[in-house]
Structure 1
Amino acid sequence: MTVIPRTRRAALVSAVCTLVVGGLGLTGCGGEDPDEGTNGVGKLTPEKIQSRTKAAATAADTVRLSGAVVSNGRTYKLDMRLKEDGGTGSVTSEGSTFRLLKVGEHLFLKADAEFWNNQGSGKDGEEGKGRDESETAAADKLDGMYVKVPTGDPAYKRFSGFTDKDVLLNSLLTLHGTLSTDGYHEQSGTRTIRITGDKGSGGTLDVSLEGTPYPLRLVRAGDAGTILLTDWGKNFTLAEPDKKSVVDYGKQLPTS
């Protein structure tokens, strides 16, 4: 009698399993069902999965976003906690890190003197170049302080989107092109179903198969960044800084 080595037996079993599943449309060998014990969204069409996860994200009170976003040619590394009435966290861009805090319509920006010195255009036409002593002194005064951003300032429009839960999620959770599913995966220990736009070129989104079908990981189209979405529904305190820590710069910030 010929004895088949264990590794070869495993390979034969795997091959037979693949043929059975592919030929008969079964969910797996041995009767395994990848949707067993899940919230069931894995059985839906990719369009319905996207609709369900967007609805879940919109309904959630809070979320944490971390990762990178490419916008207007700049890469922003984010670590933001968001809720319906604002958000807080850090943003890193072009080597500078600053903190954002938005409570209602009030937006505050906190950074060091180097950040403020690198803002604006000097006489040499480059950011941070040709600044006079008064501008440097102003930057020193802003060092480590929360600066209240005027609503009419270009910086308000530029940065407030990072602290607006609905705006940010609506812009991020859209896949481009024809939707399809790309199998079952896992994100930080949670089972997921992955949907893609144009087989990945239009972005990919991993949706939780456990509990509420929240989006957990997004790879944006066009190499525009990867975002992790965590802490769904976990409450956190959001409050304006005390007055001693705030500088009201006036009508316009010294930014480009």
Structure 2
Amino acid sequence: MTSSAPAARAHRRTALAVVLCAGLTAALTACAGEDPDKGTNGVGKLSAAEIDSKARAAAAASDAVRLTGKLVGKGGTYTLNMQLSADGGTGSVTSGQSTFALLRIGDELYLKADAGFWNHGSDDGHGSDGGDESDRSAADKLQGKYVKVPEDDPTYRQLRGFTEKKTLLDGVLTLHGKVNKGDRSTLGGVRTVQIMGGKGEGGTLDVSLKGTPYPLRVARGGGGGTLTLADWGRSFALEPPSEDDTVDYGGELPRSSG
């Protein structure tokens, strides 16, 4: 009985070692053979240039998108919350201390802001107290109402640019420099692959690995701001404001709208 005990223990140790080795081998084999693109749209297997092309094509083909975040340029910093489609756009833009709403349906562009927005900029630059009585009267009339921006007004093209899907996407999705592949990550629970201009100094773009390879986030190069892109293809209503919520200003808007 005594002589068989060590043999039994040795047998158990050998059996345990075999089991552990088999388990370790299986785990290593699984890790080595695991496909990082399993369950994805397969875009992560492509080159950076191919991912860039597919993301741009997906964005162009989509009927709608929501852009939120900041754009930084020579004209200042703009915080956007805009829904865009081929037919127009609606949402808000904040610049400095002013926030204004924009609504475009086709070529008809409407602007709504408070009195502070309309008064801002009416200063003549020589220490005046914020414009003359007519400027203040106009601001009181326009505040909180949609104003149809005349197409020949100097600010029409600038304001319309915030509502144009193609114009905004063409600008923000452009990466500068050679396009390279970055890391994989997740955004809002969606797996993504990143592409970047250069080593990131030319901007970065996070592309969805689920379903259609839409761009989900863009960080513009040179500190040009970061935008989130969501609600791809989700339709939204574009309806003219009611007469009660509209003021017909007439000719050229006050300089403050620029």
Q: Same fold (TM over 0.5)?
A: yes
What is residue 7 of structure 1 aligned with on the other side? none
Runs of 4+ in structure 1 off by over 3 angstroms are none
Structure 2: distance between partners of 1:38 and 1:227: 24
Backbone CA RMSD of aligned residues = 2.0
Match of 2:121 among 111, 119, 122: 119
> Which residue, 67, 79, 100 being the options, matches 2:69?
67
Please tell me the residue identity of whatever aligns with 2:73.
Answer: S
Q: CA deviation at 1:154?
A: 1.9
CA contact (8 A) 2:119 2:130 kept: no
Paired residue secondary structure (2:199): helix
Tell me which residue corresponds to 1:152: 152
In 2, are the aligned partners of 1:63 and 1:231 still within 8 Å (CA)? yes
Indicate the residue corresponding to 1:4 in structure 2. none
- 1:253 counterpart residue number: 253
Partner residue of 2:40?
Answer: 38
Once residues 75 and 142 of structure 2 are traced to their aligned partners in structure 1, the CA distance between those partners, rounded to angstroms, is: 27
Q: Say yes or no: does 1:83 pair with 2:85.
A: yes
Query: Alignment partner of 1:200: what SS?
Result: coil
Q: 1:141 to 1:125 in 2, by over 3 A?
A: same
Identity in percent? 54
For the pair shown, which has the larger CA radius of gyration, 1 or 2? Answer: 2
- Over residues 142-194 of structure 1, what are the superposed CA-to-partner deviations in whole Å (9 max), with x where a residue is unaligned? 01000111111121111111100111111111100011001211111100010
Write out aligned runs for 1:191-202 (5 A): 191-202=191-202
Cα offset for 1:130? 4.2
How far the C-alpha of 1:72 sits from its partner, in A, is 1.9
Q: Structure 2: how far apart are the matches of 1:100 and 1:86?
A: 10
Shift of 1:244: 2.3
1:165 and 2:159 correspond? no
Match of 1:137 in 2: 137
- Per the TM alignment, residue 251 of structure 1 is displaced from its structure 2 partner at its CA by 2.5
Instruction: Name the count of aligned residue pairs.
Output: 231
Q: Does 2:245 correspond to 1:242?
A: no
- From 96, 100, 103, the equivalent of 2:102 is 100
Q: TM-score, normalised by structure 2?
A: 0.85
| 2:88–2:104 contact (8 Å) kept in structure 1 | yes
Contact kept, 8 Å, 2:120 with 2:130, in 1: the verdict is no
In the TM superposition, what is the alpha-carbon distance from 1:242 to its structure 2 partner?
1.3
- Distance apart, 1:29 and its partner CA: 2.9
TM-score (norm 1): 0.85
1:90–1:62 Cα change, 3 Å: same
Would you say the 8 A contact 1:124–1:130 is kept in 2?
no
Extract unaligned runs of 5+ from structure 1.
1-12, 21-25
**Does the CA contact (< 8 Å) of 1:184 and 1:194 recur in 2?**
yes
Q: What is residue 233 of structure 2 aligned with on the other side?
A: 233
Q: CA deviation at 1:92?
A: 0.6
CA 1:47–1:254: 2 relative to 1, 3 Å? same
Aligned to 2:218: 218
